Structure 1
């Protein structure tokens, strides 16, 4: 197997700690946690009722509602993070 170089030119992130790289870094360095009681669904049937949920994410900032309806929420997050990384890298189409 040949060794290949990978160059990271841009960063993007959507997580329970923040909706972009700057917000994530600010919260992480301040010691803020994204873990809390879950209120997105009924947790009564489950033994664990805490977790990390992404708050305040607006998929329409990244794609049309028509396209968003065809995808799972986690795809929205990945798409948004990829878009942020592309923008951070200064890449264009």
Structure 2
């Protein structure tokens, strides 16, 4: 969920930046995204250290894709778990 929230902030930042809509909102969203992305990376790293997530998810999170990479990674993990549960039935 946090990954999706960070992705939303990132998308809003891109819209404001590309549209040259407001320097003030660009700065606010930029700082929010930057701090949020660092928090996301730390949370995923903690989950990897505890064995909750595979290490490739941290790679996807810290990649230039950032919140896009982590959101795609979480979706892949969810679909994989769903597939395994269906196969076990």
Q: Which has the higher strand share?
A: 1
Give the alignment's TM-score, normalised by structure 2. 0.34
Q: Whose RCO is larger (CA < 8 A, sep 6+)?
A: 1
Query: Which structure has the bigger radius of gyration?
Result: 1
Higher helix share goes to which structure? 2
